[in-house]
Structure 1
């Protein structure tokens, strides 16, 4: 609950300052870093036209109100996406065969 309140306060503060912001990408980056600093790992922040229908919560506006910044939680890459997967090693053995896993012994 405390986590959600912290995010709501941060988003409300950013929304007020965001109304007069001109550069949408700078604003989007600031909002993303604020949400990430609150510990949220799976979220998206996107910029859409002000009259466009979009999923999520409006957390700011830019370009003199012609665009809005949308926040949506529990979407996007999770912590497992940050870890690269390791493919098994492919080894060519002396007898010309190929072994997956690096073991040429039979």
Structure 2
């Protein structure tokens, strides 16, 4: 039981650190994962939170001020 609680606490502590990644770093990580899963030429764009309109939000970067948006290629 103590191990589960410890794991949950560590996960909560690590979450803000992940949100502080730069958009370029996070974009590279997500593109690599998508390419590995078979997506050809993934299109990711970092946009301000208020400017998210089309596409699917796949990540948050720059301290939560921007979102990475995936738009399916044609």
TM-score clears 0.5: yes
Give 2:5's aligned residue: none
Greater than 3 Å deviation, 4+ residue runs: 16-19
C-alpha separation in 1, matches of 2:24 and 2:62: 10
TM (norm. structure 2) is: 0.67
Unaligned runs of 5+ in 1: 1-15, 76-106
Unaligned runs of 5+ in 2: 1-14
User: C-alpha deviations, 1:12-46, integer Å up to 9, x for none?
Assistant: xxxx7895132110000100110011011143011
CA contact (8 A) 1:18 1:61 kept: no
Larger radius of gyration: 1
C-alpha separation in 2, matches of 1:18 and 1:70: 20
Structure with more helix by fraction: 2
C-alpha separation in 2, matches of 1:44 and 1:20: 21
Task: Give the number of aligned pairs.
Answer: 60
Task: Give the alignment's Cα RMSD to 1 decimal.
Answer: 2.3
TM (norm. structure 1) is: 0.49
